[in-house]
Amino acid sequence: MNLAKSSYINEVSEGEKPRSIKLTKWRPYLLIAPAIIVFLVFFIQPIFYMIYLSFHEWNFISPDKTFVGLENFIVLLSDPMFLQVIRNTLMYTFFTVLLSISIALLMSIWLNRQGWMYSFVQGAVFSPHIISLVSIAMLWMWIMDADYGLLNWVLSLVGINKVPWLTEPNIALASLIIIAVWKNIGYYTLIIIAGLQSIPKHLYEAAALDQTSGIRRFTKITFPMLSPSLFFLTIIGILDSIKVFETISIITKGGPLNSTNTLVYYIYENGFIFFKIGYASAAGVILLVILGILTLIYFKALSKRVHYQ
Amino acid sequence: MKTSLPLRLLNVIGLIIVVAIFAMPFIWMISTSLKTLGETMIFPPKWIPDEPIWQNFMDAWNSGPFLQYFINSVIVSVGILIFQFITVIPAAYAFARYEFRFKNALFGLVMVTMMIPAQLIFLPVFLNLSEWGILDTLWGLILPFATSAFGIFMLRQTFKQVPEELLEAARLDNSTDLKIMMKIMVPMAKPTLITLGLFNFITHWNDYFWPLVMTTTEKARTLPVGIAQLRQVDGGVAWNILMAGNVILVIPILIIFFFAQRHIIRAFTYTGVK
Amino acid sequence: MTKIQLKNVSKAYGNSKKVIDNMNLEIRDGSFTVLVGPSGCGKSTTLRMIAGLEEVTSGEIWIGDQLVNEVAPGKRGISMVFQNYALYPTMTVRGNIEFGLENMKIPKVERKKMVEEIAEIVDLTEFLDKRPQNLSGGQRQRVALARAMVKKPKVFIFDEPLSNLDAKLRGQMRTELIQLHKRLGTTFIYVTHDQVEAMSMGDEIVILDKGNIMQQAAPMEVYHNPENQFAAKFIGIPAMNVLPIAMLERNIGKMTDGRIFHVGFRPEHAEIQTAKQTTSGVHLPCEIMTMETLGSETLYLVNSDAGQFQVKSFHNPLMNTKKVHVTIPFDKLYFFDTQGNRVYTDGLPFEWRDEKVREEVLV
Ligand SMILES: Nc1ncnc2c1ncn2[C@@H]1O[C@H](COP(=O)(O)OP(=O)(O)OP(=O)(O)O)[C@@H](O)[C@H]1O
Ligand SMILES: [Mg+2]
Whole-angstrom Cα distance, residue A288 to residue C62?
59
Both A46 and A114 in one domain: the answer is no
Q: Three-state DSSP class for C313? A: strand
pLDDT band at B138 (very low <50, low <70, confident <90, very high): very high
- Report the nearest atom of ligand 1 relative to the CA of C160: 27
Whole-angstrom Cα distance, residue A205 to residue A207?
5
Task: Give percent of chain A above pLDDT 70.
Answer: 91
Per-residue pLDDT at B149: 93
Q: Check C1 against A5: CB less than 8 A apart.
A: yes
Residue ranges with CB less than 5 Å from ion ligand 2? C 44
Chain C within 8 Å of A3 (Cβ-Cβ)? no
Per-residue pLDDT at C274: 82
Whole-angstrom Cα distance, residue B106 to residue A29?
10
Rounded to a whole number of angstroms, the distance from the CA of C195 to the nearest CA of chain B is: 24
Of the ranges C82-96, C212-226, C334-348, which one carries the lowest mean pLDDT score? C334-348
Residue A59 maps to a domain: yes
Residue A203 maps to a domain: yes
Per-residue pLDDT at B271: 57
Q: Determine the residue of chain B that is closest to C53 in CA distance.
A: B168
Q: Does residue C38 have a cis bond before it (omega within 30 degrees)?
A: no
pLDDT band at C1 (very low <50, low <70, confident <90, very high): low
Of the ranges A209-223, B92-106, B186-200, which one carries the lowest mean pLDDT score? A209-223
Residue A4 maps to a domain: no
Question: Who lines ligand 1 at CB under 6 A?
Answer: C 13, 19, 37, 39-45, 193
pLDDT band at B235 (very low <50, low <70, confident <90, very high): low
Ligand number, closest to the Cα atom of C18? 1
Mean pLDDT of C127-152: 90
Per-residue pLDDT at B76: 97
Whole-angstrom Cα distance, residue A19 to residue C76?
11
**Highest-confidence segment of A198-212, B83-97, B254-268, C112-126:** B83-97
Chain B residues in contact with C74 by the CB 8 A cut-off are 171-175
Q: How many contacts (CB atoms, under 8 Å) link A and C?
A: 33
Chain A residues in contact with B207 by the CB 8 A cut-off are 132
Asked whether residue A19 carries a pLDDT value surpassing 50, the answer given is no
Mean pLDDT of A46-73: 90
Both A30 and A118 in one domain: the answer is no
Ligand 1 pocket test: which of C9, C11, C13, C189 has the largest number of ligand atoms within 8 Å of its C-beta? C13
Both A102 and A38 in one domain: the answer is no
Asked whether residue B189 carries a pLDDT value surpassing 50, the answer given is yes
| Contacting partners of chain B (3+ CB pairs under 8 A) | A, C
Residue A5 maps to a domain: no
Give the Å distance between the CA of C164 and the centre of ligand 2. Answer: 13
User: What does DSSP say about strands C4-12 and C32-36: parallel, antiparallel, or unpaired?
Assistant: unpaired
Q: Which of C215, C209, C217, C245 is nearest to C228 (CA)?
A: C215
Chain A within 8 Å of B98 (Cβ-Cβ)? yes
| Alpha carbon nearest to ligand 1 atom 17, residue | C44
Asked whether residue A143 carries a pLDDT value surpassing 50, the answer given is yes
Ligand number, closest to the Cα atom of C38? 1
Asked whether residue B2 carries a pLDDT value surpassing 70, the answer given is no
pLDDT band at A35 (very low <50, low <70, confident <90, very high): very high
Both A261 and A286 in one domain: the answer is yes
CB atoms within 10 A of CB A156: 13
Chain C within 8 Å of A11 (Cβ-Cβ)? no
Question: Which CATH number characterizes residue A89's domain?
Answer: 1.10.3720.10
Rounded to a whole number of angstroms, the distance from the CA of B195 to the nearest CA of chain A is: 14
Mean pLDDT of B26-55: 88
Per-residue pLDDT at B177: 85
Asked whether residue A23 carries a pLDDT value surpassing 70, the answer given is no
Asked whether residue C299 carries a pLDDT value surpassing 80, the answer given is yes
Per-residue pLDDT at C229: 92
Q: Is B165 exposed, middle or buried (0-12, 13-18, 19+ CB in 10 A)?
A: middle
Distances in whole angstroms, Cα of residue A173 to Cα of each of A9, A258, B166: 77, 10, 56
| Alpha carbon nearest to ligand 1 atom 20, residue | C40
Report the CATH fold assignment for C4-233. Answer: Rossmann fold (3.40.50)
Q: Which of C45, B225, B123, C344 is nearest to A269 (CA)?
A: B123
- Best to test chain C binding among A13, A16, A17, A27 (most C CBs inside 10 Å): A13
Distances in whole angstroms, Cα of residue A302 to Cα of each of A22, C74, C311: 36, 41, 58
Q: Which of A94, A124, A121, A97 is nearest to A110 (CA)?
A: A121
Residue A3 maps to a domain: no
* Least CB–CB distance from A18: residue in C63, C64, C75: C75
Both A55 and A100 in one domain: the answer is no
What's the domain range around A59?
18-67
Q: Three-state DSSP class for C162? A: coil
CATH 1.10.3720.10 placement within chain B:
73-205
Rounded to a whole number of angstroms, the distance from the CA of A170 to the nearest CA of chain B is: 24
Touching A: B residues 2-61, CB under 8 Å: 12, 14-15, 18-19, 21-26, 28-29, 32, 40-45
Q: How many contacts (CB atoms, under 8 Å) link A and B?
A: 244
Residue A213 maps to a domain: yes
Q: What is the pTM of this model?
A: 0.82
Task: Give percent of chain A above pLDDT 90.
Answer: 52
pLDDT band at C283 (very low <50, low <70, confident <90, very high): confident
Asked whether residue B82 carries a pLDDT value surpassing 80, the answer given is yes
Mean confidence (pLDDT) of chain A: 86
Mean pLDDT of C44-53: 92
Asked whether residue C294 carries a pLDDT value surpassing 70, the answer given is yes
- Report the nearest atom of ligand 1 relative to the CA of C45: 18
Q: What is the ipTM of this complex?
A: 0.90
Report the CATH fold assignment for B73-205. Answer: MetI-like fold (1.10.3720)
Give chain A's domain count.
Answer: 2
Ligand 1 pocket test: which of C11, C21, C44, C57 has the largest number of ligand atoms within 8 Å of its C-beta? C44
Per-residue pLDDT at C275: 78
Mean pLDDT of C56-77: 90
What is the per-residue pLDDT across A203-252, written as a single tens digit (0 to 9) for each? 888 777 777 777 888 888 888 888 888 888 898 899 999 999 999 999 99
Residue A82 maps to a domain: yes
When the candidates are 2.60.120.560, 3.40.50.2300, 2.40.50.140, 2.20.25.160, the CATH number that belongs to C238-362 is: 2.40.50.140
Both A89 and A58 in one domain: the answer is no
Q: Check C75 against A20: CB less than 8 A apart.
A: no
Q: Determine the residue of chain B that is closest to A228 in CA distance.
A: B272
What is the per-residue pLDDT across B200-226, written as a single tens digit (0 to 9) for each? 999 999 999 999 999 999 899 999 999
What is the per-residue pLDDT across C233-272, written as a single tens digit (0 to 9) for each? 998 888 999 988 877 777 777 777 778 889 999 999 998 8
Asked whether residue C281 carries a pLDDT value surpassing 90, the answer given is no
The dihedral built from the CA positions of residue B129, B133, B139 and B141, taken in this order, carries a sign that is positive
| Alpha carbon nearest to ligand 1 atom 16, residue | C42
Distances in whole angstroms, Cα of residue A227 to Cα of each of A104, A191, A199, A230, A298: 14, 12, 11, 5, 14
pLDDT band at C357 (very low <50, low <70, confident <90, very high): very low
* Least CB–CB distance from A243: residue in B117, B213, B228: B117
Domain ranges of chain C: 4-233, 238-362
Whole-angstrom Cα distance, residue C175 to residue C252?
45
Asked whether residue B234 carries a pLDDT value surpassing 70, the answer given is no
Residue A7 maps to a domain: no
